[in-house]
Amino acid sequence: MNKTTYPKRLIEVDLPIKEISKHARREKSIRHGHISTLHIWWARRPLAACRAVICAALWPDPGQEDCPPKFREDASTIMRNFLQERYPLEHADRDDYRNMDDPLVLRRALLDFIADFANWDNSMDERYLKTARALTQSAHESLGGAPGTRPLVVDPFAGGGAIPLEALRVGADAFASDLNPVAVLLNKVVLEYIPRYGQKLAVEVKKWGEWIKIEAEKELGQFYPQDLDGATPIAYLWARTITCEGPGCGADVPLMRSLWLAKKGTHSVALKMLSDREKKRVDFEIIRDFQDKDVGQGTVRRGSITCPVCGYTTPVASVRKQLKARLGGAADARLFCVVTTKAKQQGRFYRLPTKQDLDAVCKATEELERRKSEHKGSLSLVPDEPLPVMSGVFNAPLYGHNTWGSLFTPRQALALTTLVKLVKEASTAGLK
């Protein structure tokens, strides 16, 4: 093959997008064996689409004049063998067998294979895997790759790992990286640890995960108490606050974009704000039987804050100034709702915070301060490294969050530092 020529790949000519999209949509309901169950990752790419695109990008189009003859010959043989193995009886008389030497028929056969291979049910079928890897190897060597080597797929922002995983599946080598350390860990688990350790890894993760859960409950249980009626709190909803700058007001205003708690038809739940001019305070009531129009507006609009007590709107610049003075306002944020579950009832339940909730928060704050004072080490207990400034992407520093630790309430910081400590203890114990 003349090295100056560039034979077009299949993806540059055609792609069975309709079939690939169908399989990608179906993937959302796959729970067993899918990497999406390993860790939630935003903008996760469907494996079906990645698998199809990688194959189509690696394999030359046999319908092009400058397609390497070796690939045409190999692909024709590989596809004949695949079809005979995949459809031994019912399709014995198909033209696919007789006309595979026709480049356009071969192209269609490869595209049909890609469409079928995008199906989750076929992603671990040995017949499809063997065929895809044989085609990838032939394409690599036909295009000048050294015998015995494999093509390299590079993904510098690999995220959840879909692209490098599928590259390995179809017979290529993969190099994956990311700026986010969580993504790097996900990729190492998917691409290195699971293939190397298999079921043993799953057993160990479950074992030590249970150990961390039990030990964390021992240390943190008093700061997350059960309700007196046996309900279990699963979420605490907080709001940062500012002081209204309206003339003669000075009310403590929670920053809330919406008053909805749950929006599910007859099971909808929302908050109603109760303004108290004398106490210069906004309290809440949980409402359930209402119409959508009965739910009021939140206090935040385009960064400015409208006070429910006096109606004055504090501008964005003043809001930022106040929050900067309080390092973002997480440390003195206001708890306004607790979400719970009940043992013998389905669904989530919403209630206002009680004295028990507020006392637990105070105890957690005191405990965090005690641990900070007793902490020894080269690194601080709560991360105090500066936050990056990425205007329009990550705007927390504009509101006074200058360190990683400032993003969390004291109880959140206490829980996170406890988990970090236990993970370190588990890793040490696991090596013994």
Q: For 327-345, what is the mean pLDDT?
A: 93
Hey, is 279 helix, strand or coil? coil
Name which residue leads in pLDDT, 38 or 110.
110
pLDDT (tens digit per residue) in 374-419: 999 889 999 999 988 777 777 888 888 999 999 999 999 999 999 9
Whole-angstrom Cα distance, residue 360 to residue 132?
58
pLDDT value at 24 more than 60: yes
- Sequence-distant (6+) residues with CB within 8 A of 171 are 132, 133, 134, 135, 136, 137, 150
Residue 85 pLDDT: 87
In tens, the pLDDT along 277-330 reads 888 999 999 998 787 787 888 999 989 999 999 999 999 999 999 999 999 999
Cβ atoms of 329 and 264 within 8 Å: the answer is no
pLDDT of 116 above 90: yes
Hey, where are the domains in the chain?
10-197, 198-226+355-432
**For range 348-372, the mean pLDDT:** 96
| CB-facing half-sphere around the CA of 155: CA atoms within 13 A | 25
Calculate the average pLDDT of the chain.
Answer: 91
Element (H or E) spanning 20, and its range? Answer: helix 17-26
Q: Flag whether pLDDT at 335 surpasses 70.
A: yes
- Give the per-residue pLDDT at 172: 97
Spatial distance between the Cα atoms of 407 and 397, rounded to a whole number of angstroms: 10
First CA to last CA distance, the chain: 57
> Is the alpha carbon torsion for 343, 346, 348, 350 positive or negative?
negative
More reliable by pLDDT, 75 or 90: 75
Give the pLDDT score at 37: 85
Question: What is the full DSSP assignment across 33-81?
Answer: S-GGGT---TTPPPHHHHHHHHHHHHSB-TTSTTS-HHHHHHHHHHHHH
348, 326, 342: which is closest to 236 by C-alpha? 348
Task: Find the angle CA(84)-CA(85)-CA(90) to the nearest 5 degrees.
Answer: 60
Q: Which residues contact 49 (CB under 8 A, 6 or more apart)?
A: 20, 21, 24, 118
How confident is the model at residue 282, as a pLDDT?
93
Q: Rounded distance, CA 34 to CA 24, Å? A: 12
**pLDDT digit string (tens) for 88-106?**
655 545 555 568 889 999 9
Confidence band, pLDDT 50/70/90 cuts, at residue 57: very high
State CA 355 to chain mean position distance. 35
* 3 pLDDT higher than 60: no
Residue 93 confidence (pLDDT): 54
pLDDT > 70: what percent of the chain?
96
Q: With a cut of 80, say whether residue 259 has pLDDT above it.
A: yes
Residue 1 binned pLDDT confidence (cut-offs 50, 70, 90): very low
The pLDDT of residue 430: 63
Give the mean pLDDT of 210-223. Answer: 96
Residue type, 222: Q
Distance CA 415, CA 360 (A): 13
The predicted-structure confidence for 151-194, as pLDDT tens digits, reads as follows 999 999 999 999 999 999 999 999 999 999 999 999 999 999 99
Q: Give yes or no for residue 4 having a pLDDT over 60.
A: no
What's the pLDDT band for 432 if we cut at 50, 70, 90?
low
Helix axes 17-26, 47-58, angle to 10 degrees: 150
Pairing of strands 269-276, 281-287: antiparallel
